[in-house]
Amino acid sequence: MNTFASRLLAWFDTHGRHDLPWQHPRSAYRVWVSEIMLQQTRAETVIPYFQAFIARFPDVRALADAPVDEVLHLWSGLGYYARARNLHRAARLLVECHGGALPAERGALEALPGIGRSTAAAIVAQACGQPEAILDGNVRRVLARHAGIDGWPGSAAVQRRLWAIAEERVPGLRIADYTQAIMDLGATVCTRSRPACHRCPVAEDCVALADGRVADLPTPRPVRALPVRTRWAALLSVPEGVYLERRAGSGIWGGLYSLPEREEAGELCDWILSRWPGARQVEPPVERIGHVFSHYRLDLRLLCFALPPAGCGIMEGEQAIWYNSRLPTRVGLPAPIERLLIEHGDSDQWREP
């Protein structure tokens, strides 16, 4: 019987993905950017973001020299914005400490912000041909099913078992192709739902298939109800645009521009009227925005105010802008806030009657 790797490589030659934009050319920088974007995001979603990002930032120095607002702007809608902030921080460290080049050693890459073991291994395997194992979400699913590994892959014990299996199966040749092949198998054949086991090149000795447990593996994360967090946000408009504040650099939507928020409606109204005494409350375009994060559900309730034209200045040192959706500033925006601004940017109900 052929080995796991040889069967996978033979399948990859005919059925693998060979036209992904980060494969042409397959440089360390392009692999790095793609791997960060692909974390918890499907390739189909990533491709247009990757192409726009690389067109603007073709190398490490271009990324390092750019303002973080522009990086976040090109990331808007992709989610998990800490990835973009870490990418930018890492680029600046690469320029300062590595001459603008990515190190060819996994350990040195892991020392950079936002690069963990699997991402570092994927970079050196694909760009340098080094025999390193990866363990992203697709690979965890393939290995958990093929080896019949029970338990949630996020637990430390199960992760250790999967890493050991991943390392055992790395071949001595064609490392870059093998790395892409096992990711492709998980993305296109051994999918989370409705896997195409009849097309799988390693189905003949898959434990999950033999035991009728494909649908059960990998073991799902233990279910827990997500708490709901209610916040109040202000939609403050003048003819020139809508008032947006830069959020803190860490946490949810970190570093993006968004509507000012408070825990309570009264607290928000008091702040608005103390800053803009002539503000008048008007009917909001929508009453609330719902958004699901990994650890809670956000119930963002809106208050809409038309501001007097004389009060539209930005205070000195304030991290804020007036955002006009018709002539948008190149800054990062949370996807639900960007949709709100675009969908209702022409509405007269934003303005004082």
Q: What is the domain-level CATH number for residue 292? A: 3.90.79.10
Confidence band, pLDDT 50/70/90 cuts, at residue 312: low
Given this model, what pLDDT does residue 314 score?
73
Given this model, what pLDDT does residue 326 score?
81
Q: What is the domain-level CATH number for residue 122? A: 1.10.340.30
> 73 near 120, Cβ under 8 Å?
no
Residue 130 in this model has a pLDDT that exceeds 50: yes
Q: Answer whether residue 267 is part of any domain.
A: yes
Among candidate residues 154, 185, 216, the one where a domain is terminated: 216
Q: Mean per-residue pLDDT for 313-341?
A: 85
Confidence band, pLDDT 50/70/90 cuts, at residue 311: low
Q: Cα angle vertex 317, ends 314, 323, to 5°? A: 40
Residue 310 in this model has a pLDDT that exceeds 70: no
Given this model, what pLDDT does residue 327 score?
82
Confidence band, pLDDT 50/70/90 cuts, at residue 104: very high
Question: Residue 132 carries which side chain, given as an amino acid letter?
Answer: E
Q: Answer whether residue 223 is part of any domain.
A: no
Same domain, residue pair 251 and 176: no
> What's the CA gap between 240 and 220, in Å, rounded?
49
Q: Answer whether residue 103 is part of any domain.
A: yes
Given this model, what pLDDT does residue 344 score?
65
Take residue 36 and report the two structure tokens written for it. Answer: 């960060």
Average pLDDT of the chain to the nearest whole number? 92
Confidence band, pLDDT 50/70/90 cuts, at residue 350: very low
Residue 343 in this model has a pLDDT that exceeds 80: no
Q: Answer whether residue 87 is part of any domain.
A: yes
Same domain, residue pair 252 and 179: no
Q: What is the pTM of this model?
A: 0.85
Given this model, what pLDDT does residue 240 score?
79
Same domain, residue pair 84 and 202: yes
Burial class (CB in 10 A: 0-12, 13-18, 19+), 13: exposed
Same domain, residue pair 28 and 79: yes
Given this model, what pLDDT does residue 352 score?
40
Among candidate residues 181, 216, 251, the one where a domain is terminated: 216
Same domain, residue pair 39 and 168: yes
Given this model, what pLDDT does residue 351 score?
41
Given this model, what pLDDT does residue 349 score?
41
Structural domain total, the chain: 2
> What's the CA gap between 88 and 65, in Å, rounded?
9
Q: What is the 3-state secondary structure (H, E, C) of the chain?
A: CCCHHHHHHHHHHHHCCCCCHHHCCCCHHHHHHHHHHHCCCCHHHHHHHHHHHHHHCCCHHHHHHCCHHHHHHHHCCCCCCHHHHHHHHHHHHHHHHHCCCCCCCHHHHHCCCCCCHHHHHHHHHHHHCCCCCCCCHHHHHHHHHHHCCCCCCCCHHHHHHHHHHHHHHCCCCCHHHHHHHHHHHHHHCCCCCCCCHHHCCCHHHCHHHHCCCHHHCCCCCCCCCCCEEEEEEEEEEECCEEEEEECCCCCCCCCCEECCEECCHHHHHHHHHHHCCCCEEECCCCCEEEEECCCCEEEEEEEEEECCHHHCCCCCCCCEEEECCCCCCCCCCCHHHHHHHHHCCCCHHHCCC
Peptide bond into 25 cis (omega under 30): yes
Residue 28 in this model has a pLDDT that exceeds 50: yes
Given this model, what pLDDT does residue 238 score?
86
**pLDDT > 70 in the chain, percent:** 95
**Residue 321: closest CA among 236, 252, 254, 212:** 236
Question: pLDDT by residue (tens digit) across 152-209?
Answer: 999 999 999 999 999 999 999 999 999 999 999 999 999 999 999 999 999 999 999 9
Q: Answer whether residue 180 is part of any domain.
A: yes
**pLDDT > 90 in the chain, percent:** 81
Q: Answer whether residue 222 is part of any domain.
A: no
Q: Answer whether residue 221 is part of any domain.
A: no
Q: Per residue in 183-204, is it b (16+ CB within 10 Å) or e — as a string?
A: bbbbbbbbeeeebeeeebbbbe
> 58 near 30, Cβ under 8 Å?
no
Confidence band, pLDDT 50/70/90 cuts, at residue 303: very high
Same domain, residue pair 119 and 266: no
Take residue 310 and report the two structure tokens written for it. Answer: 């004389």
Residue 45 in this model has a pLDDT that exceeds 90: yes
Length of the chain: 353
Burial class (CB in 10 A: 0-12, 13-18, 19+), 309: exposed
Instruction: Show which residues are catalytic.
Output: 35
348 vs 337, more confident: 337
Same domain, residue pair 186 and 241: no
Same domain, residue pair 10 and 120: yes
Same domain, residue pair 236 and 262: yes
Same domain, residue pair 16 and 120: yes
Same domain, residue pair 170 and 245: no
Containing structural domain, residue 25? 4-216
The region of weakest confidence among 16-25, 133-142, 279-288 is 279-288
Q: Mean per-residue pLDDT for 77-91?
A: 94
Same domain, residue pair 175 and 54: yes
Among candidate residues 166, 187, 216, the one where a domain is terminated: 216
Residue 139 in this model has a pLDDT that exceeds 90: yes
> What's the CA gap between 115 and 204, in Å, rounded?
35
Residue 305 in this model has a pLDDT that exceeds 80: yes
